Amino acid sequence: MTAASLFDQAAIGNFWFRYLHILAGITWIGLLYYFNLVQVPGLAAYGDEGKARNITITQIATRALWWFRWAAIATLATGILITAVVPDYMQDFMNHPGSDPINAKNAAISVGMILGITMAANVWMIIWKNQKVVIANATNVLNGGEANPDAATAGRRAMLASRQNMIFSISMLFYMVGAAHFYPEGAFSATSGNANTFVLIAVVLGALLQLNALGKFGGIKAGNKMLLPYESHKNAIISGVVLWAVLFILSVVLMGA
């Protein structure tokens, strides 16, 4: 490798953008876990300390949400840049009609991409949209104003989407890493048809979970048994592991050599 090749098109796509993609992703997913494992349970433990909760929301959550939502954008953007800059990335991605480890690799990265894009959409279209209502309410109350009766509903919508992202994240990270370091190995050699079937099943399962988090199966109120996977961070972790296990077993059945 020459000094000039350190910054040629292949190096920029295969390493530099990938490095930035991982760096942004660590920031994004790290904050996702902070919200679900630390902040939400912590705020719930405040009990009747409404002022303390509102101060935490305005001074801590606001800052964390800024980094959270822009890290999601940075992760998504650098991922797109990788596909755009790496020479023949999409051609290599698509053109493998026979039984080939590449088909398993392509299926894995496809699932990782779809989950990641869905998670980024949740951040901006649901979590941040509703958290703005929560933050505005906390600020208004601290300034002596009346509480917004819609703030609690907005907070719950944001929480459900955040827990759904936590559920997705376990599989998303596995298939992002697995595309390069697990599925190209000799244990996987899928036909394009089996690889596509795996991706389709993953998309359907993801869509059903996403619709559930949006309250399409009985609403968003507590007591809806369909929302059990989201009612605590422990439930979300268990649900995420179950989703990963189902997808992994399907990948072995459909794409195992």
Q: What is the pLDDT of residues 90-115, one digit of tens each?
A: 666 666 777 788 889 999 999 999 99
The candidate with the shortest Cα–Cα distance to 60, out of 47, 36, 37, 43, is 43
Q: Which of 31-40, 89-98, 174-183 is predicted most confidently?
A: 31-40
> Looking at residue 4, what is its pLDDT?
58
Instruction: Provide the token pair at 155.
Output: 């907070």
Domain assignment present for residue 82? The answer is yes
Domain assignment present for residue 190? The answer is yes
Question: Are 32 and 38 a contacting pair, CB within 8 Å?
Answer: no
> Looking at residue 100, what is its pLDDT?
83
Instruction: Provide the token pair at 130.
Output: 């509703």
pLDDT in tens, 184-216: 877 898 898 999 999 999 999 999 999 999 999
Helix (H, G, I), strand (E, B) or coil at 130: helix
137 pLDDT higher than 70: yes
Domain that holds residue 58: 7-255
Q: Which of 41-45, 87-91, 157-161 is predicted most confidently?
A: 157-161
The candidate with the shortest Cα–Cα distance to 21, out of 186, 172, 141, 158, is 172
Q: What is the pTM of this model?
A: 0.93
pLDDT in tens, 110-136: 999 999 999 999 999 999 999 999 999
Question: Are 210 and 118 a contacting pair, CB within 8 Å?
Answer: yes
> Looking at residue 15, what is its pLDDT?
87
- Cα 71 versus chain centre, distance: 12
Q: How many domains, in total, are found in the chain?
A: 1
Domain assignment present for residue 2? The answer is no
The candidate with the shortest Cα–Cα distance to 207, out of 118, 128, 110, is 118
Residue 252, CB half-sphere, CA atoms under 13 Å: how many? 5
Range with the lowest mean pLDDT among 7-21, 106-120, 169-183?
Answer: 7-21
Q: Where do runs of H (alpha helix) occur along the chain? A: 9-11, 17-34, 40-44, 50-56, 62-85, 89-94, 101-122, 128-142, 151-181, 192-213, 233-255
The candidate with the shortest Cα–Cα distance to 154, out of 135, 178, 167, is 135
> Looking at residue 96, what is its pLDDT?
72
> Looking at residue 90, what is its pLDDT?
67
Domain assignment present for residue 81? The answer is yes
Domain assignment present for residue 15? The answer is yes
Domain assignment present for residue 219? The answer is yes
1 pLDDT higher than 60: no
Domain assignment present for residue 53? The answer is yes
Domain assignment present for residue 1? The answer is no
